[in-house]
Structure 1
Amino acid sequence: MRNKLHLRQFWSENRWLLLGIAWLLSLALGFFGFYIYAIENGEDWTAGDVIYRTFQLVTMNSGAVEGEVNWMLQAARFLLPLLTIYTVFQVLMQLFVEQMQKLRLRRQKDHVVICGMGRKGSRLARELLGLGRQVVIIENELKQENAKIFRHLGAIILAGDATNKDVLIRARILHARNLVCLLGGDSENLQTAYQAYQLTRTRRVGKLTCIIHLSSIDLLNLLRSCELSIQPGVPFELETFNPYERTARMLLQDNPGWREDSSLQDIPESLLVVGLGRLGEQLVVQAGYLWHLLKRQGRLCIKVVDRDAVEKIQNLLRNYPQLGKVCELIPQQADIYTAGPLQNILAKPGEQVLIQQTYICLGDPVLSLQVCLNLLQIPEIITGPIRVQLSKEAGLVDLLEKPLPGLGDVGRVRTFDFYDYACSAALILGGMHEMLARDLHEIYRTGSEFAST
Structure 2
Amino acid sequence: MTAPDERRGWSRAAAVSWRLLFPAIAIAAVVLGYRGMGTLLAGQDEFANNLWDRLYYTLQLFVLGAPPLDEGGTLPASLQAARFLAPAVTIYAVVETVRLLFATELTRLRARRSRGHAIVCGDSMVADALTARLAEGGRRVVRVVRPEERAGGRRGMLVVPGDSTRTGLLRGAGIHRAESLYVCSGDTARNLSVVLAVAGVERKGPLRVHVQVDDPELCLALQARRLGRREEDRLAVNFFNWHERAAHALLSDRLPPMHPDRPTRVMVIGASWFARTLIVELARTWRIRAAGHPLEVIVVDAHAWEAVHRLQRLYPFVGEVCRLVTRNRDVASLLDGDLPDAPSDRVYICCDNEEVGLKIALTMDHFWRGGPRSVIVRLGQLGGLAQAFHGPGERLLDPVSGTLDMFDALRAGTDLTLTEDSLTERLARTIHERYLRQQLAAGASLGATPALRPWDRLAADLRAANRAQAADIGAKLNEVGCALAPNPVWGDPDVLTGEMLEQLARHEHERWCAFKESTGWRYGPERDELNRRHPDLVDWNRLSETARAKDFDAVKQLPELLADAGFRIVRVRPDPPAIPAPRVAGDNQDLTTLPG
Q: Which range, TM-score by smaller chain?
A: 0.5 to 0.7
Shift of 1:96: 2.4
Counterpart residue number, 2:308: 313
For the 8 Å contact 1:355–1:384, the answer to whether it is kept is no
For the 8 Å contact 1:322–1:451, the answer to whether it is kept is no
Counterparts of residues 30-49 of structure 1 (less than 5 Å): none
Aligned CA distance change for structure 1 residues 340 and 419 (closer, same or farther; 3 Å) = closer
Q: Distance in 1 between matches of 2:236 and 2:399?
A: 50
Q: Distance in 1 between matches of 2:399 and 2:104?
A: 55
For the 8 Å contact 2:256–2:346, the answer to whether it is kept is no
Aligned CA distance change for structure 1 residues 437 and 399 (closer, same or farther; 3 Å) = same
CA shift digits 1:110-169 (9 cap, x unpaired): 1111110222112221232233211111112533xx442x2x322222222222222222
For the 8 Å contact 2:383–2:407, the answer to whether it is kept is no
The answer to whether residue 185 in structure 2 is matched with residue 183 in structure 1 is: yes
Counterparts of residues 119-130 of structure 1 (less than 5 Å): 119-130=125-136
Counterparts of residues 160-309 of structure 1 (less than 5 Å): 160-199=162-201, 202-204=202-204, 206-228=205-227, 234-255=233-254, 269-294=264-289, 296-309=291-304
Aligned CA distance change for structure 1 residues 268 and 374 (closer, same or farther; 3 Å) = farther
2:350 counterpart (338, 348, 361): 361
For the 8 Å contact 2:274–2:350, the answer to whether it is kept is yes
Shift of 1:396: 5.0
- Structure 1 segments unaligned to the other structure (5+ residues): 1-87
SS at match of 2:164: coil
Q: Distance in 1 between matches of 2:233 and 2:312?
A: 40
Aligned CA distance change for structure 1 residues 231 and 325 (closer, same or farther; 3 Å) = closer
Aligned CA distance change for structure 1 residues 139 and 218 (closer, same or farther; 3 Å) = same
SS at match of 1:250: helix
Counterpart residue number, 1:436: 425
**AA partner of residue 208 (structure 1):** L
Q: Distance in 1 between matches of 2:97 and 2:396?
A: 51
Counterpart residue number, 1:370: 359
Counterparts of residues 17-96 of structure 1 (less than 5 Å): 92-96=98-102
**AA partner of residue 121 (structure 1):** A
Q: Distance in 2 between matches of 1:377 and 1:418?
A: 24
Shift of 1:307: 2.1
2:409 counterpart (398, 405, 418): 418
Q: Distance in 1 between matches of 2:134 and 2:207?
A: 17
1:333 counterpart (328, 336, 344): 328
Q: Distance in 2 between matches of 1:316 and 1:234?
A: 32
For the 8 Å contact 2:263–2:294, the answer to whether it is kept is no
CA shift digits 1:382-401 (9 cap, x unpaired): 78621112357577546645
SS at match of 1:156: strand
Q: Which has the higher helix share?
A: 1
SS at match of 1:126: helix
For the 8 Å contact 2:374–2:403, the answer to whether it is kept is yes
Q: Distance in 1 between matches of 2:242 and 2:421?
A: 18
Q: Distance in 2 between matches of 1:295 and 1:408?
A: 29
Counterpart residue number, 2:59: none
Aligned CA distance change for structure 1 residues 140 and 315 (closer, same or farther; 3 Å) = same
For the 8 Å contact 2:347–2:367, the answer to whether it is kept is no
Q: Distance in 2 between matches of 1:196 and 1:375?
A: 49
**AA partner of residue 203 (structure 2):** R
Q: Distance in 2 between matches of 1:321 and 1:437?
A: 17
Q: Distance in 2 between matches of 1:155 and 1:403?
A: 31
Aligned CA distance change for structure 1 residues 298 and 339 (closer, same or farther; 3 Å) = closer
Shift of 1:241: 0.9
For the 8 Å contact 1:301–1:329, the answer to whether it is kept is yes
**AA partner of residue 264 (structure 2):** E
For the 8 Å contact 1:400–1:410, the answer to whether it is kept is no
Aligned CA distance change for structure 1 residues 96 and 427 (closer, same or farther; 3 Å) = farther
Shift of 1:325: 1.6
Q: Distance in 2 between matches of 1:330 and 1:432?
A: 31
For the 8 Å contact 1:386–1:413, the answer to whether it is kept is yes
Shift of 1:420: 0.6
Aligned CA distance change for structure 1 residues 415 and 193 (closer, same or farther; 3 Å) = same
The root-mean-square deviation of aligned C-alpha atoms, in Å, is 3.5
CA shift digits 1:415-450 (9 cap, x unpaired): 01221122234456xx47996345324787854354
Q: Distance in 2 between matches of 1:209 and 1:327?
A: 37
Moved more, 103-112 or 360-369: 360-369
**AA partner of residue 359 (structure 2):** Q
- Structure 2 segments unaligned to the other structure (5+ residues): 1-93, 435-557, 569-596
**AA partner of residue 283 (structure 1):** L
Shift of 1:306: 1.2
**AA partner of residue 291 (structure 2):** R
Q: Distance in 1 between matches of 2:178 and 2:383?
A: 35
Q: Distance in 2 between matches of 1:137 and 1:166?
A: 15
**AA partner of residue 125 (structure 1):** T
For the 8 Å contact 1:391–1:417, the answer to whether it is kept is yes
For the 8 Å contact 2:335–2:360, the answer to whether it is kept is no
SS at match of 1:272: strand
Percentage of matched positions with identical amino acids:
23
SS at match of 2:351: coil
Aligned CA distance change for structure 1 residues 102 and 292 (closer, same or farther; 3 Å) = same
1:386 counterpart (354, 375, 380): 375
Aligned CA distance change for structure 1 residues 408 and 398 (closer, same or farther; 3 Å) = closer
SS at match of 1:220: helix
**AA partner of residue 324 (structure 2):** L
SS at match of 1:388: strand
Aligned CA distance change for structure 1 residues 231 and 172 (closer, same or farther; 3 Å) = farther
CA shift digits 1:275-328 (9 cap, x unpaired): 111111111111112223446115421011112222332333333344222111
Aligned CA distance change for structure 1 residues 192 and 125 (closer, same or farther; 3 Å) = same
Aligned CA distance change for structure 1 residues 396 and 364 (closer, same or farther; 3 Å) = farther
For the 8 Å contact 1:114–1:179, the answer to whether it is kept is yes
